[in-house]
Amino acid sequence: MNAPSPVKFTLVIASVILCWAYSPIGVHIGLHSYSPGQLALLRFLIASVLMGAVALVLGIGRPRLRDMPWLLVLGFFGVFLHHTSLNYGQQWVTAAASSVLAQSAPLFSVLIAAFCLKERVSLWRWGCVLLGLLGVLVVIWGDQGLGEIDPRGLLILLAAASWSVYFVIQKHCAHRYSLLTLACYMVWSGTLMLCVNLPGLPTAVVRAPLVENLAVLVLGVFPSALAYLAWGFVLKHVDVSRASVAMYLIPPVAMGMAATLLGEHVALQVVLGGVIVLASVAAISLEGRWRSGAQAERTQAVAVEVLGDEGVAKVQRGR
């Protein structure tokens, strides 16, 4: 596989960041005319049609019967629960704060690993989780004030937790299906579940202003469909840990878009809380890299001890 040019690769990553940074802005606009459930359904009906066209052109694998329950669970956590919670929560939280809270998913991944998967979690990661939760409190304080926050706004944290569960399940299926195949079945199954919000949607579409319908159209085409395809392209050329660094740029870009397009005033505390949350998430990622590097060094040391320097060199030449 030929590596893309640096310019092309940078443009693809930039497009992903812009698409996902727009998501809370588009949701904020769409909620003026649609209920949270209707907005999620309309957004993913558009995405499903687009993903279907892409699947016809590029081709995707057929799901095995035994994997169907897993694909449905992917759709539930990755689309239905995540976006329903996100839309409901954003009724009481600004788009800027929502963009930060939604990036807290890795913190919940640590909690899932500890309490659900019974994995051993290091003190470093526990410290990162506590630091991240402190950042969440700072964001809430800056956005609404600790005494004024509506508990329903915390549904955005449920959306982040559901996204963490989605990634855990995706790893279970990733060795059997391509990223495009998984993305298509996730979108389609999640959209099917969202159809419980269908009553009243056609009337809402007719009554909504053109500007708000265009905002939802952009939500369905770019963050919900094309961004997943572009992200799959990125992951073909770099590993997940390196690519995920770009995701740290989503909240600041979303804050700039919210201030420009929505006229939101982004409080200094929200920015500070965002820095704390993203620093904790980055620290979790760094620990994974340190562990991988240390494991590689130990493996090399054992190989040298068993085979000697010449033996290791022969093995490396034979690869």
% of the chain surpassing 90 pLDDT: 42
- Whether 304 has a pLDDT exceeding 70, the answer reads no
pLDDT of residue 174 exceeding 80, the answer is: no
Confidence band, pLDDT 50/70/90 cuts, at residue 289 = low
- Mean pLDDT lowest among 40-44, 113-117, 312-316: 312-316
- Token pair belonging to 168: 């855990």
pTM: 0.82
pLDDT of the residue at 58: 87
Most confident of the following: 98-102, 161-165, 200-204, 315-319: 200-204
What average pLDDT score do residues 221-225 get?
93
Residue 1, pLDDT score? 52
Query: Across all residues in the chain, what is the average pLDDT?
Result: 84
pLDDT given for residue 61 in this prediction: 84
Contact residues for 91 (Cβ-Cβ < 8 A; gap 6+): 31, 36, 152, 153
Q: Exposed, middle or buried: residue 18 (CB in 10 Å: 0-12, 13-18, 19+)?
A: middle
Least confident of 108-112, 161-165, 277-281: 108-112
* Domain extent listing, the chain: 6-317
CA distance 103 to 287: 18
Count of positions (residues) in the chain: 319
Distance between CA atoms of residues 278 and 245, nearest Å: 10
101-120 pLDDT, tens digit each: 888 887 887 888 777 777 78
- Contact between residue 273 and residue 139 where contact means Cβ atoms under 8 Å apart: yes
Q: What is the pLDDT of residue 243?
A: 66
pLDDT on residue 2: 63
Residue 100: count other Cβ atoms within 10 Å of its Cβ: 32
Residue 312: the pLDDT is: 40
Average pLDDT over residues 56-83: 91
Mean pLDDT of 182-202: 95
Instruction: Please work out, in degrees rounded to the nearest 5, the angle formed at the alpha carbon of residue 285 by the alpha carbons of 279 and 288.
Output: 145
How confident is the model at residue 148, as a pLDDT? 64
The lowest-confidence range among 45-54, 74-83, 180-189, 235-244 is: 235-244
Range 132-164 burial, b when 16+ CB lie within 10 A, else e? bbebbebbbbbbbeeeebeeebbbbbbbbbbbb
- CA distances 259 to 9, 88, 144, 248, 254, Å, are 28, 21, 16, 18, 9
The answer on pLDDT for 303 being more than 80 is no
What is the structure's pLDDT at 239?
A: 65
Cα dihedral 32, 37, 41, 47 sign: positive
Phi, psi of 39 (to 5 degrees): -65, -45
Using one digit for the tens of pLDDT, what is the confidence trace for 193-219? 999 999 999 999 999 999 999 999 999
Q: Would the pLDDT of 46 be above 50? A: yes
